[in-house]
Amino acid sequence: MLAVNTKAIDFTLPDENGNPISLSSFKGKKVVLYFYPKDNTPGCTKQACAFKNAYDDFKKLDVAVIGISKDTSKSHLNFKNKYDLPFILLSDVDHKVIEAYDVWKEKKLYGKTYMGIMRSTYVIDEEGMIIKTFEKASPENNAKEILEYLQN
């Protein structure tokens, strides 16, 4: 993962509606940037719903929540609508941003090795600096751990 106290890499990706969103457009507010493997899978749904349930707390702290996976914008829109997710989902189908943020890793499942997204989260400050990382983030606890960090 990228190191704490380094500048977050700026990017522009399409959101669930196909609109281009740039990280730099959030300058002046903290951003939770979470990378997840796939829409509508059990762990990713659990994580997204945990962020949804904590979303009012993030809003009170003036923190933007952004999820990124290699799913299409259309897949993101369906996922967002199905679970009434209140935050932005960005599509990185060619995984350029995913790789730039060093979360494209070798994974193993049922003895098979493949490349995929390691569930990871970055907390970025108002100036675009990475202030906290959560490597191998827990689907159930990630949102809560981030809130605890931000509130201390």
121: part of which helix (H) or strand (E)? strand 120-124
Contacts of 44 (CB under 8 A, 6+ apart): 36, 37, 38, 69, 119, 139
Does the active-site annotation cover 49?
no
* Dist CA 89 CA 13 (whole Å): 10
* Dist CA 137 CA 67 (whole Å): 13
Write down the catalytic residue from 13, 21, 33, 44. Answer: 44
The residues carrying an active-site annotation are 44
